Amino acid sequence: MTSGTKPDPKAVPDAPDARAFAVEQAALIDLSALSVTQLGALFDRFDAASNAWCTELHLPYANGSKGEFRVNTAAGDLLEREQERVAEIRDRIAAEIDRRQPANERDANTQLETLIRHELMCNGDLRDPAIRARIEATWGVAPTSDAAAESMAHPMPTGPEPTTSLLAMGREFDTAHATWRKAVEANREPNQRFTALIEAAKARGGPSKADLQAAYALPGVSDARDIEEKAFETAGELSLTILKLPARTLGDLAVQARAVIPHVWAQGAYEEDGLPDADENIDKEAVRSLIESCCAVASVDWRGSSVMAGAASATDHGRKPDPFGNIFAGIDFSAMSMRTLDTLREHAVVLSDISYGLAAQPRSRPDDENQTNEAGDFVVRLAEALGGVVSRCVDEARRRQPDSVTDREIRIRTLALATVENGDAAETRAFARELLALVDA
C-alpha cells in the first residue's frame, strides 16, 4: 500500500499566464471528427459558458477594484483564466467551422451564422471582405416576397430568448396540422355511416348498448376515428406549446395565428367556411393568447393603452403588476444617435446577463428546488425588462434608414446578432440584401 501526503493548499505553484494557458488547453482538443452541426452547437455552448464566467467576474467576490482600474481578487484570477480557456476553445471551434466545406444548405447556414457572430465578437463589425463575400454567396438571393423585409421592419418586443424557435415549431405544426386534416377527411365517410346507424337507433328509442357496439363495429369506423383523434392530439399539443412562447417577429405571429385554428375549427373546415360548425366553439385561451401577441406588435395592451406607460392592473388576467413595467418611460429611443442606441443595447445585454447569472446562483433558489426564490424572481424580472430594452433598441435600429456610412454600419452591427439568432431564413436573406447594398454604396 502506497502512502502519500495531502498537498499543502498554501503551496500553490505559479499559475501560468491566462492567455498562454488558454491556448495550450484549447490546442489539446481534436475537433476534426465533429460535423458542422455539432460544431455549431458546441460554439453556442462554449460562448454561453464564456459569457457566464464573464458575468461572475462582475460580482463583488471576484472584483477587488478600489480605484479607476479593474483588479481581480484571487478568485477573479481563477475565473478569468477559466473564461480565457473557454473563449479560446470557442474561437478554435469557429476556426474549424470556417475551415469546413459545407455538405448541404443547413451546414452552409450554420457556418455563416457562426462566422458572423464570431466576427462581431472579435471586431464589432462586418467589414471583413471575406465575410461579406460569403454572405453574398450564401444568402445573396433576394427573398421571393417583401415578407422578410416587412418582418424586419416590425419586430416583436421580447423578453428572454425562447429555448425553441417558433418558426421551427411552426413548420412542425404545419405538418401535424396537414396530417390531422387528412385524417378528418378520411373519417368523414365512416363517421357518416356511424351517425346514420345511431340516428336510426334513436328513431327506434335507442341507441342501446347493442346499437353502439354495432356502430363501432362498422368497417373502418374505429380505425378512422382513432387515427383522427391521435392526429388532433399531436397538432393540439404543438399548438398549445406554440401559444405559450413569445412571438418575436411577424413570422412568429403568423405561426401563432395558425396554431389557433385547431381550437376553433375542430372539424378541420377552416378553408370551407368562416364560422365554426354547430359542435365547435371558440377556445378563449387560444384566442386570448393570439390577441395579446397581436397587441404586442403595437406595444399596447388589450385596452389600447401603451405598455410603456406602466404596469397593467393587478386584476388583468390574474397577473400581478410588473414593478419594471415603466422601465421604458424615461428612455426616448428615437432621440438617440445610432451610436448611443447601440451602446445602450450593449449595456442592457451585459446587465441582463449579470441578472440571469445571479438568478442561477444557489442563494437565489430554495433548497432542493429548481424554481427561484423572491431574490431570484427579482433579478429574473429585471433581466426580462432589460431584454425589453435590447428589443426596443433593435426595433428602433430596424426603423431607421441612416444616411452616413458610419451610422449604417452601426445599424448593421446592431441588427446582425438579432437577425442571425432568430433563425428565420427569409429574414436572414433580407438582412444579407441590406448588408450587400451597404457594400455597394
Provide the 10 A C-beta neighbour count for residue 432: 24
Q: Are residues 106 and 205 in the same domain?
A: no
Domain shared by 122 and 246, yes or no: no
- Alpha-carbon Rg for the chain, nearest whole angstrom, is 28
In a domain, 200, yes or no: yes
Model-wide pTM > 0.85:
no
Which range, 50-64, 172-186, 414-428, has the best average confidence (pLDDT)? 172-186
Q: Is residue 8 part of a domain?
A: no
Judge if 229 and 172 occupy the same domain: yes
Quick check: is 41 in a domain? yes
Q: Is there a single domain that holds both residue 240 and residue 122? A: no
The confidence score (pLDDT) of residue 141 equals: 43
Segment 16-25, tens digit of pLDDT:
577 787 788 8
* Distant-in-sequence contacts of 35-38, Cβ < 8 A, 24+ apart: 35/107, 36/97, 36/100, 36/102, 36/103, 36/107, 36/110, 36/111, 37/106, 37/107, 37/110
Residue 344 lies in a domain: yes
Domain of residue 236 covers 166-298
Q: Are residues 23 and 128 in the same domain?
A: yes
Residue 303 lies in a domain: no
197 and 288 belong to one structural domain:
yes
User: 345 versus 323: which is more confidently predicted?
Assistant: 345
In angstroms, rounded to a whole number, what is the distance separating the alpha carbons of residues 132 and 142?
A: 15
Q: What is the pLDDT of the chain when averaged over all its residues?
A: 73
Residue 152 above 60 pLDDT? no
Question: Average pLDDT of 64-79?
Answer: 77
* Residue 129 and residue 203 in one domain: no
Asked if residue 106 is part of any domain, the answer here is yes
Domain count, the chain: 3
Using CA atoms, how far residue 282 sits from 19, 88, 306, in Å, is: 61, 54, 27
Mark whether 365 and 292 lie in a shared domain. Answer: no
Assign 59 a pLDDT band (cuts: 50, 70, 90). confident
Per-residue model confidence (pLDDT) at position 136: 75
246 closest CA partner among 302, 366, 163: 163
Of 256 and 66, the structure prediction assigns the larger pLDDT to 256
Residue 340 lies in a domain: yes
